Structure 1
Amino acid sequence: MGRWNGFWTRRTDVERVELYTRWSFYLIVWWMNLSLVATAVGASDYTLLALPQLVVTLLLSIAATAGIGAVLDVHPDEPLHDPRARVAVVVVPVLAVLVLAVSAWLPLEGRAAATGVAFSSTAWVVGGVRNRVVMTVVPAVLALGGLLVLPERHVSVLVFFLVYALFVFTVRVSLWLLGVVRELDVGRVAQSELAVAEERLRFSRDVHDVLGRHLSTIAVQAELAATLAQRGDERAAATMLDVRAAAHDALREARALARGYRPTDLAAELRGARSLLTAAGIRCEVAVDEVPEEWHEAAGWVIREAVTNVLRHSSASRVLVRWTSGELLVENDGAGATTTATGTAPGNEGAVGSGLIGLAERLQPLGAELDARRDDDCFRVRVRFPARRTGAPAPERVEA
């Protein structure tokens, strides 16, 4: 089955629609032209006189086919910008007029067939060109030639003109549908790429949050262990065991993160924050017992990022974490000139790190507002949560 119909099955949906549209136009052109000539020849006895008309009709059909192909190749751009389309727009009407001229010596049936061939062949090429001059001049010339060839059949010329208008409308609608299909395919591809980009952004933020905190813990405890070892303190060995435990925790959470199964637990984040700050010699005050359960994960994001920034960008001696009336506050001293700024969150007067900017972007779909600013020696991260959740906590997690 796949051998004889592979030309169809291996194509995309857009390519199939384009192939169907293209060959529908080709078949209609050839069917109309050959059927009109054959009907005229069968109705009259003028075999030798019909030979020139048949030759010119074949040339006109070939030119019309090439012109349709050129228009479809450059659509939705302006066809007249393409050299092949410009040649087709000139050659096809000229051959159509030549068909009318050759039919002047034929009987009435031959002249009627020539008029139909001229109108139908030209419509398929001109219909795809968005040019007022071409759309006006070509049918006017054809109508005048038809009236000269068929002076006794004005009604027939009018019928062929209406058929010409119908074919032009068909071409326009078909090209419009083809353009819509192409745009939908582009939109589908863009949506897929956006989903991948969102997942990558989610993963990078989680890596920043998880590994940043654990690496900060390892760095602080390793520095403490080195200091204790220089003093000959027996606590150095216990501190190194804490470093090993932090490394194992980081490895475990990194594996869970890769699988997409690592939820954020507020209690775990608070324990990690206390342990990390205590190891760094920073006093920690926590009062978040009243945080609603629906905001536990988002509050964990805030505490994790804020504590990581305390260790990286300050010489703090005290950190306060407090929940009051729908507002989470993380405050530390020792900001001073040591706070490093890599960006500024919208609406904030102080400089904040890129991690806080990413945190603000994650909180925005939930309806929460983040405000981070420095006031002299104090740095505050304040997040206002709405009464109810207005969105998903994060982009949908997919299994790697």
Structure 2
Amino acid sequence: MVSVSGWWSRRSRAERFDISLRWPLYFVIGAAPLYALLIAFSDSRSTSGLRTALFVLLSVPYTVVALLLMRATLSAYLHRQGPSKRLLATAVGLTVLGVAVFPEHAVALLLFGGLLTLALSPLRPFMLYVGLVAVGAVMAGLLEDTAAAFVYVYGVGIAALTGRLSAWMLGMGWELDRSRAISTQLAVAEERLRFSRDLHDTLGRNLSLVAVQSELAARLAERGDEDAAEQMLAVRRIAHESLREMRAVVDAYRSTDLSSELAGAQSVLRSAGINCRVIGDVANLPDTTQVALAWVVREATTNVIHHSDATTCKIELDAGGQNVVLRMENDGVRSARPALGPGNGLVGLRERLAEVGGTLTAEPRPGGRFLLQAQLPTA
């Protein structure tokens, strides 16, 4: 059986935000039968038991319809699709029926009318729920007095404003989540574009030369010209030169510099909406150590972006003593992570560090945090 904490930890940051705003609204509406019971038992007027029971029973289907309407109007706000007319008509009809059961009680109007206004508050027209609050206040004043009308305006108005603000915050949360995903995709696309541009600048000219020289050699060979062999040797020379240049480009892409990787990681994480802080100095570290740690930073940064819901990430480099320690800690653990094993992208890093006498550990920490630590000898 999945625990609540496990279920919650697997939700993305946007989903957690959505649940935190959406479910309190559902809870307020879902408690309508409890409100009806309190109204029925606190009634001091001469009301028949049949009407009281009918009022309480009516609150149950009303709650179901109001919850469905609340869900539909939130969806309408986020996706610009309005609730069905049948659902809206059912909610209005049950509201009218609920008030009709206790026509002499403004509190019944406050319950049914207030929850209907709350359920409709996410809809785009601002004046819609302003009009609902005004109509309800007038009816409360007619049923009771001016004080009842004031209570209705204050209570229902605050509830409607809360529903409206919650819908707006939901929209902003999902929009930020989409922006974060787009920023990450743009960062990846920019890196791919840089690599393709380097390949084009390096190989474009040489490949054109190969095409021209080979065509010239073919025509010379057709005429039996001895220069054809010389032209083919030139083609071979250009091909070898192109191969060396391509290898140089690939090696430069694969090569890792710790300072550059730290700066790149900070830039990429920030573009993905993750606040990144780098602590420590890479000066005076051996080249082999810098290369190994740079690979750790590159792989760990990729994991943070693709496998976490982090909002902060701290990269700390401690080069004191006989060992240098790199720590990367983020706050975006989704669920308990398995130890390093087959199929895990960090296995290759562990093997790479082992070749230079280093170790790698990765484990969740209390408070939904995740720590990756690499340790290497400085000598």
Please list the CA deviations of residues 232-262 of structure 1 after superposition, one character each: whole Å capped at 9, or x if unmatched.
46x936x544433322222232233345539
Deviation at 1:35, TM superposition (A): 3.9
TM-score of the two chains, using structure 2 as the length reference:
0.56
Which position in structure 2 is the counterpart of 1:74? 76
Aligned counterpart, 2:14: 14
Identify which of 209, 231, 236 aligns with 2:229.
236
Counterparts of 1:144 and 1:101, CA distance in 2: 16
CA-based RMSD of the aligned residues comes to: 3.3
- The within-5 A match list for 1:166-315 is 166-222=158-214, 227=220, 230-232=224-226, 236=229, 240-261=232-253
Measure, in 1, the Cα distance between the counterparts of 2:93 and 2:134. Answer: 13
What amino acid is aligned across from residue 62 of structure 1 in structure 2?
V
Stretches of structure 1 lacking an aligned partner (at least 5 in a row): 106-110, 264-400
Query: Which residue is 2:37 aligned to?
Result: 38
CA distance in 2, matches of 1:83, 1:171: 16
Residue aligned with 2:123, SS: coil
Secondary structure of the 2:153 match is helix
Question: Where do residues 84-233 of structure 1 align in structure 2 (5 Å cutoff)?
Answer: 84=84, 86-104=85-103, 111-131=105-125, 134-151=128-145, 154-222=146-214, 227=220, 230-232=224-226
Gaps of 5+ in 2: 256-379
Per-residue deviation, 1:162: 0.8
Report how far residue 223 of structure 1 moved. Answer: 5.3
Cα distance in 2, alignment partners of residues 98 and 173 from structure 1:
29
**CA pair 207-70 structure 1, distance change in 2 beyond 3 A:** same
In 1, are the aligned partners of 2:74 and 2:123 still within 8 Å (CA)? Answer: no
Secondary structure of 1:104 counterpart:
coil
Structure 2: distance between partners of 1:13 and 1:53: 41
1:261-316 deviations in Å (ceiling 9; x for gaps)? 399xxxxxxxxxxxxxxxxxxxxxxxxxxxxxxxxxxxxxxxxxxxxxxxxxxxxx
Distance 1:87 1:16, change over 3 A: farther
CA contact (8 A) 2:62 2:91 kept: yes
CA–CA distance in structure 1, aligned partners of residues 37 and 176 of structure 2: 43
Paired residue for 2:341?
none
SS at structure 1 position matched to 2:122: coil
Greater Rg over alpha carbons, structure: 1
1:128, CA displacement in angstroms? 1.3
- Between the aligned partners of 1:56 and 1:143, the Cα distance in structure 2 is 22
Matches within 5 A, 1:321-360: none
Give, in angstroms, the shift of residue 63 of structure 1: 1.8
Structure 2 counterpart of 1:291:
none
**Structure 1 CA distance for aligned equivalents of residues 162 and 154 of structure 2:** 12
- Asked if the contact 2:106/2:144 (under 8 Å) is kept, the reply is yes
| Cα distance in 1 for residues equivalent to 2:10 and 2:115 | 32
Question: Secondary structure, in 3 states, of the residue corresponding to 2:178?
Answer: helix
Quick one: which amino acid aligns to residue 167 of structure 1? A
The answer as to whether partners of 1:100 and 1:146 remain within 8 angstroms in 2 is no
In 2 relative to 1, CA 123–212 (structure 1 residues): closer, same or farther, beyond 3 Å? same
Identical residues among aligned pairs (%): 32
Q: Secondary structure at the match of 1:230?
A: coil
C-alpha contact (below 8 Å) 1:97/1:142 kept by paired residues: no
For residues 163-212 of structure 1, what are the alpha-carbon distances to aligned partners after superposition, in whole Å with 9 as ceiling and x for unaligned?
11101111111111111112212222222232333333323322222222
SS of the residue corresponding to residue 116 of structure 2 reads helix
Q: Which of 55, 58, 76 is 1:56 aligned to? A: 58
2:229 partner letter: A
What is the CA distance between 1:142 and its match in structure 2?
2.0
**Conserved? CA contact 1:206–1:257, under 8 Å:** yes
1:15–1:260 Cα change, 3 Å: farther
- CA 1:26–1:215: 2 relative to 1, 3 Å: same
CA distance in 1, matches of 2:3, 2:251: 41
CA separation of 1:201 and 1:162: change in aligned 2, threshold 3 A: same
Contact (CA 8 Å) 2:73, 2:83: kept in 1 or not? no
Secondary structure of 2:169 counterpart: helix
CA distance in 1 between counterparts of 2:2 and 2:64 reads 31
Amino acid at match of 2:144: L
On the 8 A contact 2:129/2:160 being kept in 1, the answer is no
Query: Is the contact between residue 29 and residue 67 of structure 2 (CA under 8 Å) also seen in structure 1?
Result: yes
In structure 2, what is the Cα distance between the partners aligned to 1:241 and 1:262? 31
TM-score (norm 1): 0.54
What is the CA distance between 1:41 and its match in structure 2? 3.3
Spell out, residue by residue over 1:62-117, the C-alpha distance to the aligned partner (whole angstroms, 9 max, x if none): 221111111122223545xx352x44444334322322221136xxxxx2541331
Q: Secondary structure at the match of 2:99?
A: helix
Deviation, structure 1 residue 61: 1.7
